């Protein structure tokens, strides 16, 4: 067992103790020396484990005193229990999404919904602008080039190179550039499913996945998903014995909306499972590079054997939202997705793809990402703190290990659709929990984006949202 | 009847006489004065009609002498007769398209297949590059904006404004920006069909439409399409009385690959037909602005009553191929396509869309388009001449009224798939006729792109292609 595995194991043990409450909020952890002696580990290993827990926001170091369990907000410890869900009304949700989209584009609304940072502070905008302008100056004929799939060789080589940091061995030739990760998901699904097929998804899942699946005539089977360990593999394994799934869509590394990653061993088991059952796993690795702790945990793709894992990601969340450059490595479905891309939207802009490629080559992407990780970890933590102060008693929250999303379970008396409308009346945009499932399972849940500057406008909106939730929590439960 | 209608009617009559052969190649047309007297029209009207025929490449003016019927290449005068088609082998065609895509990206191949001009000469590349660079300088934060549908207001307003030149009254609010016209087709189809539905298409149709339809699980019904007048409306009307079509996809204005436009009256009838039968018509107007003759003929959308016509186009063929900015006005399906866009690929780059918008506002688009029309008319004509000289006897060709595509019918003994392979062996890329239908109907046909500089490399390739076709024509017919 190497050092990396040892300190992660220790961190996981301690995190579990914190979750169970055997290390309650405010408790002091054993000193590094005591802990090392107790577990017969080196001081370095224990220090690394404590740092990891600090990065995850579970403990804090107090100068001259030691490490303490932090956070007054109870973490989410188990999947929401199944409830008599009923199916969402499709029309209602579509209309709601249309309202969200409109309001997000209005300057007079505070947007706590959009999962994409807005504002220069989060991106090397000036540097990218410079790179693009310089490309145009040197090669104005780029504008007149008709791009064909798979797209910019330079960028694909960089994607392959960086994939190694997530444990993946990819070849540039097997990578397809896409119009963001959303198109990658769309193409991957279309490559391996037919209308009427059943697709397994996590529960909760990224809200925009449901309309995509519905538009393709696909049935959805929601697989229980733990707010800290992700997809419930025992459940999935039973399911695969009994039922044919055309595909599974999952975010095993920094989940949207839960912010969790599956343990590495579970990822390996998931890879084995889909290879054994020959079921395509569409792995959405959109936030994988935004893991708070380094070295980064590997993706499921890292353990793929026979090409059943199709992995996608994009640079919209980390580098250049407007450029919409995503990618898909589709394993054994490589040729199929390439042709689908050509007959669905042809190809990506070479100008934009080359810009991203140049930035990855020597623009300081690693430096930028480290700053982003620190910043998001701090912001998620700050929003968690605001929620702890302003939201009704009984509110629980995830403890994200990456990204910039926070998932809340409000008291069961709060209908988040009612909260959505109350907030909208005050020009605050949120996405209600109902959208993260096909049923009403998450009707008292809520996703908050922590990726905007936490200025007074945003913190004020969070406070007000908490007040509105508190008012709704006190109201008599809905019939 | 106004002057515009009068001169068009006269031109159509004369064109028909040329087609029928009652005005054979080389024949002298009556003088303007004689023709005016004969039809009791003004001299201006006759002159306008002759100019239109000149623009269409049907006649030529000889100084001091008058107008003569031109072209030594027989025009295509009727839809290809139905043959015992058999269904294409899907796998074979997919493999072939993959080969085409690969070879098109190799500098050592001459590409006569790609329907997109390559090279600076055809685009205001420098000006666009400047506009983009200037936008980036003034607003580097654009890079960091997360675009949402429907996309740049500026561009949508310009699209609406320019649509008027094609007879359409569109509102910016109803326009959705898409990733080229290909994505517009994809979204339009997905908005109105389900897997298993039947879609009516022209025969021949744009080759990339077939894999798109297949990938969506749609059945294809090919409707006879006249090489000069487009979709056979009598056939379509009968069909609609008997069969439910989920949609019709057509290019009524400058067809790909035929280069023809439906007569204006037929467009009006088509609009009436789809409104009466409540069948969505997906009108691909990609080449509508590339009509050789001005004023431009209206699209079918111009006659839409209740929003059953969904019209799309893009700026990839006329302005900035690499920017991949397309659009879709989906009539009564506006909200559906907007949501589909969001859950399929989110939105288009604001930077690129704004650049195109700025160019349309004041970059000299009209001037650019006029130059392009003249240039393509001349190039199509030149390639027609080369085909007349070098291709086997019995070859017939379309007489495009716009765009830059030429469609050839070779002698029936020539299998264009065999020609494709023979040409590829000499590094010449063409698209065989088989790809323009689901059957083998067009197996002796061929589409040629006339949108590259006609330098020696290209003219040499055309000559060689003719030689290869001639050799195949002499070979005994395939079993």
For the segment A413-435, what is each residue's pLDDT rounded down to a tens digit? 999 999 999 999 999 999 999 89
Query: What number is the average pLDDT over the span B351-360?
Result: 97
Distance from CA of B350 to the nearest CA of A (A): 6
CB A449, CB A405: distance < 8 Å = yes
ipTM of the complex: 0.84
Using CA coordinates, name the residue in chain A closest to B126.
Answer: A140
Residues in chain B closer than 8 A to A180 (CB atoms): 345-346
Distance from CA of A391 to the nearest CA of B (A): 29
Residues in chain A closer than 8 A to B140 (CB atoms): 120, 125-126, 128-129
pLDDT of residue B225: 93
Convert B283-350 into a string of H (helix), E (strand) and C (coil). Answer: EECCCHHHECCCCCCCCHHHHCCCCCEEEEEECCCCCCHHHCEEEEECHHHHHHHHHHHHHHCCCCCH
Q: Flag whether residue B97 sits within 8 Å of chain A, measured between CB atoms.
A: yes
For the segment B439-472, what is each residue's pLDDT rounded down to a tens digit? 778 999 999 999 888 899 999 999 999 999 999 9
pLDDT of residue A83: 45
For the segment B186-237, what is each residue's pLDDT rounded down to a tens digit? 999 999 999 999 999 999 999 999 999 999 999 999 999 999 999 999 999 9
pLDDT band at A95; cut points 50, 70, 90 = confident
pLDDT at B80 over 70: no
To test the contact with chain B by mutation, choose from A344, A355, A404 the residue with the greatest count of B C-beta atoms within 10 A, namely A344
Q: Which of A98, A215, A338 minimises the CB distance to B190?
A: A215
For the segment A64-80, what is each residue's pLDDT rounded down to a tens digit? 888 988 755 666 766 55
Query: What number is the average pLDDT over the span B322-333?
Result: 98
pLDDT of residue B19: 65
Q: Flag whether residue B107 sits within 8 Å of chain A, measured between CB atoms.
A: no
Residues in chain B closer than 8 A to A318 (CB atoms): none
Report the distance separating Cα A136 and Cα A134, nearest Å: 5
pLDDT at B474 over 60: yes
pLDDT at B478 over 90: no
For the segment B258-290, what is each residue's pLDDT rounded down to a tens digit? 999 999 999 999 999 999 999 999 999 999 999
pLDDT of residue B338: 95
Q: Flag whether residue B1 sits within 8 Å of chain A, measured between CB atoms.
A: no
pLDDT band at A90; cut points 50, 70, 90 = low
Q: Flag whether residue A93 sits within 8 Å of chain B, measured between CB atoms.
A: no
Q: Which of B322, B349, B351 minimises the CB distance to A144?
A: B322
The residues in B 282-321 lying below 8 A from A, measured between CB atoms, are: 316, 320-321
The residues in A 22-61 lying below 8 A from B, measured between CB atoms, are: none
pLDDT of residue A404: 95
Residues in chain A closer than 8 A to B325 (CB atoms): none
Mark yes or no for CB contact B339/A98 under 8 Å.
yes
Return the higher-pLDDT residue of B55 and B474: B474
Instruction: Read off the DSSP letter of residue B477.
Output: P
pLDDT at A57 over 70: no
Q: What percent of chain B has pLDDT over 70?
A: 93
pLDDT at A82 over 50: no
A409-to-A71, A446, B350 alpha-carbon distances in Å: 16, 7, 36
For the segment B141-164, what is each residue's pLDDT rounded down to a tens digit? 888 888 899 999 999 999 999 999
Residues in chain A closer than 8 A to B118 (CB atoms): 144-146
Q: Flag whether residue B180 sits within 8 Å of chain A, measured between CB atoms.
A: yes
Mark yes or no for CB contact B349/A142 under 8 Å.
no
pLDDT of residue A106: 83
Distance from CA of A32 to the nearest CA of B (A): 42
For the segment A301-334, what is each residue's pLDDT rounded down to a tens digit? 999 999 999 999 999 999 999 999 999 999 999 9
Which of A97-101, A207-211, B199-203, B223-227 shows the lowest per-residue confidence on average (mean pLDDT)? Answer: A97-101
The mean of the pLDDT values for chain A is: 90
Mark yes or no for CB contact A147/B324 under 8 Å.
yes
To test the contact with chain A by mutation, choose from B349, B353, B404, B452 the residue with the greatest count of A C-beta atoms within 10 A, namely B349
Residues in chain B closer than 8 A to A136 (CB atoms): 129-130, 132-133
Q: Flag whether residue A347 sits within 8 Å of chain B, measured between CB atoms.
A: yes
Q: Flag whether residue A97 sits within 8 Å of chain B, measured between CB atoms.
A: yes
Mark yes or no for CB contact A344/B129 under 8 Å.
no
Domains and CATH numbers, chain A: 3-69 (1.10.10.10), 90-121+367-474 (3.90.1150.10), 141-362 (3.40.640.10)
Return the higher-pLDDT residue of B139 and B56: B139
pLDDT at B90 over 60: no
Report the distance separating Cα B12 and Cα B90, nearest Å: 40
pLDDT of residue A78: 61
Distance from CA of A107 to the nearest CA of B (A): 13
Q: Flag whether residue A137 sits within 8 Å of chain B, measured between CB atoms.
A: yes
Q: Flag whether residue B190 sits within 8 Å of chain A, measured between CB atoms.
A: yes
pLDDT at A479 over 50: no
Return the higher-pLDDT residue of A158 and B476: A158
């Amino acid at each position: 067992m190497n050092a990396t595995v040892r300190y992660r194991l220790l961190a996981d043990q301690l995190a579990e103790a914190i979750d169970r409450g055997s290390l309650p909020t405010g408790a002091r952890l054993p000193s590094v020396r005591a802990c090392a002696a107790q577990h017969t580990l080196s001081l370095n290993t224990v220090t690394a484990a404590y740092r990891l827990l600090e990065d995850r926001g579970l403990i804090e170091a107090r100068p001259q005193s030691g490490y303490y369990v932090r956070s007054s907000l109870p973490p989410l410890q188990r999947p929401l229990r199944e409830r008599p869900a009923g199916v969402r009304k499709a029309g209602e949700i579509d209309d709601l999404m249309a309202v969200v989209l409109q309001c997000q584009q209005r300057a007079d609304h505070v947007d706590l919904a959009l999962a994409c940072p807005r504002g220069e502070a989060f991106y090397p905008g000036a540097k990218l602008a410079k790179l693009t302008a310089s490309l145009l100056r040197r090669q104005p004929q780029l504008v007149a080039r008709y791009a064909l799939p798979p797209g910019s060789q330079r960028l694909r080589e960089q994607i392959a190179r960086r994939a190694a940091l997530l444990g993946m061995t990819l070849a540039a030739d097997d990578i397809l550039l896409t119009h963001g990760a959303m198109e990658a998901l769309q193409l991957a699904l279309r490559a391996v499913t037919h209308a009427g097929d059943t697709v397994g998804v996590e529960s909760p899942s990224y809200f925009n996945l449901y309309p995509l699946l519905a538009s393709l005539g696909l049935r959805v089977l929601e697989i229980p998903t733990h707010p800290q360990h992700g997809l419930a593999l025992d459940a999935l394994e039973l399911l695969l014995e009994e039922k044919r799934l055309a595909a599974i869509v999952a975010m095993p590394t920094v989940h949207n909306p839960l912010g969790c990653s599956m343990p590495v061993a579970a990822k390996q088991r998931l890879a084995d499972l889909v290879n054994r059952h020959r079921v395509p796993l569409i792995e959405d690795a959109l936030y994988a590079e935004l893991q708070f702790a380094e070295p980064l945990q590997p993706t499921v793709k890292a353990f793929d054997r026979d090409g059943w894992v199709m992995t996608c990601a994009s640079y919209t969340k980390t580098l250049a939202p407007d450029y919409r450059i995503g990618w898909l490595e589709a394993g054994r479905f490589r040729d199929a997705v390439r042709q689908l891309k050509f007959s669905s939207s042809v190809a990506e802009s070479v100008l934009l793809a080359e810009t991203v490629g140049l930035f990855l080559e020597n623009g300081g992407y690693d430096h930028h990402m480290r700053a982003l990780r620190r910043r998001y970890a701090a912001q998620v933590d700050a929003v968690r703190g605001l929620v702890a102060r302003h939201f009704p008693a009984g509110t629980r929250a995830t403890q994200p290990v990456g990204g910039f999303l926070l998932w809340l379970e409000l008291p069961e008396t709060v209908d988040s659709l009612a909260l959505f409308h109350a907030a909208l009346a005050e020009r605050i945009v949120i996405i209600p929990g109902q959208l993260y499932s096909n049923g009403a399972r998450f009707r008292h849940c809520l996703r908050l984006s922590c990726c905007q500057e936490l200025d007074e406008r945003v913190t004020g909106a969070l406070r007000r949202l908490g007040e509105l939730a508190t008012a709704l929590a006190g109201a008599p439960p809905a019939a």
